[in-house]
A and B are shown apart, each in its own frame.
Chain A
């Protein structure tokens, strides 16, 4: 059984002027557990819509979405919240850490809302997650006392702490310099080595090349899917031709 199965997913937006925009035009996508996938594409290609669908943040107009064997496309808001809390981990481009809240508390937060009542257990698991991203020693620092790379690593620890089946990262290196981007990608690579399924959206070929699979979007359709070198090669050829 695949971890993610999107079947004929369509998403139609209606603009304020009443114009219909087909953001995703009936895509099929399967992601197996343990995969490390990059989603690429120009603006308006449908990659963000697909990512939002995968993250149970946006409801497709039609189609089916099986996550870990469970149909989630038609669930209500609370069920989605539960799915996000238990099965998904999010990493944002802007880190989205709570200000004035320590790294430990930021990481502890999903556990709190998952219903882990024991403070001790929550702290232990949060510290463990922070240790896995190399930040155990900075657990009592607040975001404003940390660098961008450190903040993103805290965000990854927060995504990891609930032991999700899938981590979704939306441009995780978009706000970082090259060196820090490399560090974050090394962290993702290491998580992938440990068997974690990761899907990230990126504009940067360098980042995509570090993944095992690249899915290329254009005009709401998947136009390429496979080995990063091959898919990125196709893009390069297209550009040259």
Chain B
């Protein structure tokens, strides 16, 4: 083979370089597309892998639990019953209790003089816990039996707690004061969440305070643990160990045990890992496929253009295989450059994404790794596809007869034998545009696909943004119309409360009663809260899917959204049982019918009539008649701050939140998702530009003879440009037509993958965003055309009219 001859190889490489230089834009487009695909694949894969490794590393270093047993008052000595179970590596008893963290000044203004919910967790002060250790970010670990506290770092940061500050917490046994000696992070709160179905970050409104076991016991009012955290030995099956532990500790269990997968923070981390992996699998594969098609098309066109050259070389004795090797080398060079560039961009991009994410989570130990298998896979895939594209585009060289290659040929093409409807009715300019697109169906399909893919991804991204905005808008403007939601510690008779409605700052007040309840349907049990609302509720409105107002009824009906209905497995009209007192097995059970589904994208507890809930509460629990525990308050215009000050002044109204805070939390939850989508949006726009740049340039190059002829016939540059523009608009039109529904389908699919038991978004796409997509995609098409127009202006007319390439 001549390629083994260094001189010949040097010549081949010289020709390769010359071809690359001449078609730099088309090849540049191929390189750019390949680089985009490779980088996106690596970025998402590396982010998913690094996130997994980082959390694993944190779990390992801080001895994260494998499961938790929720027990009733167990002593230190009883822990040995668990530690003796084969396969158990370590056991840690813990006393935890719900508290209120009292936020004294100095704190953030919006939280002044208020309290937030929290958890007091006991830790041994004389040694580190064997399970669920904490990482001390600032300060030191506990060193004294009483009076010291470690504060979850993100909560501390939000509320300006510093080392040495004093923190007040309200416990069942009264108020306690601790001195903050350290700011820590815990593997239990990588995601600061207490409910695996509610991914809203709680680091602002939920304080985790670690104190010594003695202090925790004192807050609970005893010397007992109520949680046992277990770590399973390496190589042991956690599930079977958990089952044995449950059996052994069954007399002490107050609730079923919680596995690592059910642990709220870990469940949410797993959800994010899956989301990253989904992104890593879908988009790069689409991009990579289109990159290969573009390379195929570019090389196909190059072989066609160089047909005569090939004929000359063959007639001089060059073997078809040597000729083919030239094009394969060309394809591989493009593949290699694209892959290397993709790796160079993708690796740091993945690292950046990981850093951003782990910083958001506050993980102390971060491992940023680009998985070698992913790297090898994408490199092999990119090079393999480049080679395949080059081979399929150029192997016809092997069959080429040198005489045929040298001979000028008139390209045969389908044409109607008689006048068609197209001829009769279509304006001539449009007809030319359409016909030119049929000239090279492969390129036309590639262009349309490129536009369609880009439009689809833009539509998908915008539709998700639209859906989020619409949902949040609906939730916070139409449903939650109050300014403050005041939650009281105990159910109180409304008449015994300060008369908020008569405050000068108050526009309106509505009372609610919220109770923990157990709903049962067909043996399926769901523990949830239920809300009793006033009959003509205006401040927390209910709507059905059609947007019509729904009012709670004095009849025994439960109103819930699709998320709650799905959890319980009920349909409208089904009968469920409701019991209120979870601690009393003999608590009365009430039958309720499920009313028509509410439109509730963000899951809220089921609702019923306030009076009805008050009645059954009185029958089930020790609550005062007509009791309430929540106030929804709306301030008069411009008086929200004054109303807040009023609430702050009333001891029993100090625990309140505002929809704005909730919205802030939801938006913070969506930040990561939005960052990924923005990245995809940016890549998609570049991708569309690159595809179109490549195909438009090819279009002009292929038709240089035609354009030169038209120019000789007196068609001005402007008119030639308009001809190309018409073709581009037709391409865009078909691409848009395909891309729009594809984007909506893709968006629906994406939304489904991000649905949770809190959030159920329906895809919506505003007309303005359809218009924006249309305009942006058209502008990208026109921008891609500019290079073709520049080529047109510099077309050497005399040479181009003799060009034999059709």
Contact = CB atoms under 8 A, between A and B. Distances in A.
B418 A113 contact: no
B670 interface: no
Interface in B760-806: 793, 797-798, 801-802, 804, 806
A20 to B, nearest CB: 18
Given A57-B797, A94-B408, A158 B713 contact: yes
B798 A57 contact: yes
Given A84-B712, A85-B713, A101 B413 contact: no
B476 interface: no
Contacts of A173: none
Nearest to B706: A98
B709 interface: yes
Contacts of A55: 712
Contacts of B429: 112
B410 A85 contact: no
B802 A113 contact: no
B427 to A, nearest CB: 9
B435 interface: yes
A113 B801 contact: no
A21 B411 CA distance: 36
Contacts of A82: 714, 716
A100 B713 contact: no
Contacts of B806: 99
Contacts of B709: 90, 92, 96, 98
Contacts of B418: 140
B734 interface: no
Interface in A107-146: 108-110, 112-114, 119, 140-145
B700 to A, nearest CB: 15
A81 B717 contact: yes
B415 A113 contact: no
Max chain B CB contacts within 10 Å: which of A86, A99, A140? A99
Contacts of A85: 713-715
A48 B802 CA distance: 12
A162 B410 CA distance: 27
Max chain A CB contacts within 10 Å: which of B417, B709, B711? B709
Interface in B439-494: 439
Interface in B254-283: none
B415 A78 contact: no
A114 B714 contact: yes
B716 A96 contact: no
B434 to A, nearest CB: 10
A93 interface: yes
B415 A84 contact: no
B415 A145 contact: yes
A77 interface: yes
Contact of B714 (A84, A105, A143): A84
Contacts of B5: none
Contacts of B411: 99, 144
A59 to B, nearest CB: 11
A85 B712 CA distance: 8
B713 A78 contact: no
A105 B717 contact: no
A94 B467 CA distance: 59
Contact of B802 (A93, A98, A101, A162): A93
B710 interface: yes
A88 interface: yes
B128 interface: no
A81 B711 contact: yes
Max chain B CB contacts within 10 Å: which of A57, A86, A143, A145? A57
A186 interface: no
A119 B714 CA distance: 19
Interface in A213-228: none
Interface string A65-87: 00000000000011001111110
B801 A92 contact: yes
A81 B715 CA distance: 6
Contacts of B417: 140-141, 145
B365 interface: no
Given A57-B712, A102-B423, A144-B412, A96 B428 contact: no
B438 interface: yes
A93 B798 CA distance: 12
Contacts of A158: 713
Contacts of B717: 77-78, 81
A109 B708 CA distance: 14
A200 to B, nearest CB: 15
Contacts of A102: 415, 423
Given A82-B716, A114-B714, A158-B713, A105 B802 contact: no
Max chain A CB contacts within 10 Å: which of B411, B415, B435, B804? B415
A230 interface: no
Nearest to B719: A113
B419 A99 contact: no
Contact of B435 (A101, A145, A162): A101
Contacts of A99: 410-411, 413, 439, 806
A62 interface: no
Nearest to A83: B714
Max chain B CB contacts within 10 Å: which of A119, A144, A158, A162? A144
B428 A105 contact: yes
A144 B718 CA distance: 29
B754 interface: no
A52 interface: yes
B798 A52 contact: yes
A144 B415 contact: yes
Given A94-B802, A96-B705, A78 B716 contact: yes
B798 A58 contact: yes
A143 B435 CA distance: 14
B432 interface: yes
Contacts of B713: 84-85, 90, 109-110, 113, 158
Contacts of B412: 144
B716 A81 contact: yes
Contacts of A96: 705-706, 709, 712, 801
Given A108-B428, A112-B429, A143-B410, A100 B438 contact: yes
A84 B417 CA distance: 32
A140 B424 CA distance: 12
A142 B716 CA distance: 25
A100 B439 contact: yes
Contacts of A144: 410-413, 415
A108 B717 CA distance: 19
Interface in B390-436: 408, 410-415, 417-419, 423, 428-429, 431-432, 435
B500 to A, nearest CB: 77
B332 to A, nearest CB: 29
A85 B713 CA distance: 5
Nearest to A139: B419
A48 B804 CA distance: 18
Interface in B715-731: 715-719
Nearest to B428: A112
A94 B804 CA distance: 8
Contact of B415 (A57, A100, A110, A119): A100
Nearest to A98: B706
A110 B714 contact: yes
A86 B798 contact: no
Interface string B158-200: 0000000000000000000000000000000000000000000
Contacts of A142: 413, 415
The 7 closest A-B pairs by CB, nearest first: A85-B714, A142-B415, A81-B716, A84-B714, A96-B709, A113-B715, A57-B797
Interface of A: 48, 52, 55, 57-58, 77-78, 81-86, 88, 90, 92-94, 96, 98-102, 105, 108-110, 112-114, 119, 140-145, 158, 162, 170
10 contacts: A55-B712, A81-B714, A90-B709, A94-B801, A94-B802, A99-B411, A99-B413, A102-B423, A113-B715, A141-B417
Interface of B: 408, 410-415, 417-419, 423, 428-429, 431-432, 435, 438-439, 705-706, 709-719, 793, 797-798, 801-802, 804, 806
